[in-house]
Amino acid sequence: MATNVATVDGKKNKYASYQNVYELIRGEVPGVEVNGTKVRIRGLGTINGLSDPLVLVNNVEVSIESFGSIDPRMVKSINILKSPDASIYGAKAANGVILIKLLEK
């Protein structure tokens, strides 16, 4: 049975070798398509015809483009929610959800 949640644990030292969060997701999360700064968790959404997932950084919504500036060494964890697990976030989550927790300074 396939899971609808993928997790990246930022405590592993190898994540510091990634240049950006897009590379981190591409290298560590199977089933998620990353092409440049575009992330596709699911196919095209039915609400708006777009494929961008909802992105929350420390529980604050950010654009898919702006989260690329996050230093991978500052990532505590990344959770990627698909299908029913993403539905708790409403219609904005039709294309999946990326939850990023950053390390505290």
Q: What is the CATH number of the domain that holds 94?
A: 2.170.130.10
Section 93-105 average pLDDT: 87
Residue 2's pLDDT is 46
Report residue 13's pLDDT band, with 50, 70 and 90 as the boundaries: low
For the chain, what is the mean pLDDT?
A: 81
Residue 36's pLDDT is 86
- The amino acid sitting at 68 is G
| Structural domains in the chain (count) | 1
**Among 8, 22, 13, CA closest to 77:** 8
DSSP string, 15-47: GGG-SSHHHHHHHH-TT-EEETTEEESSS--TT
pLDDT in tens, 32-78: 888 888 888 865 555 556 778 999 999 999 988 888 888 888 888 88
Task: Please tell me the pTM assigned to this model.
Answer: 0.82
Kindly state the tokens that stand for 73: 């060494």
d(CA 35, CA 26): 9
Residue 104's pLDDT is 83
Residue 1's pLDDT is 38
Kindly state the tokens that stand for 54: 């909802």
pLDDT in tens, 60-72: 999 888 888 888 8
Whole domain around residue 62: which residue ranges?
5-102
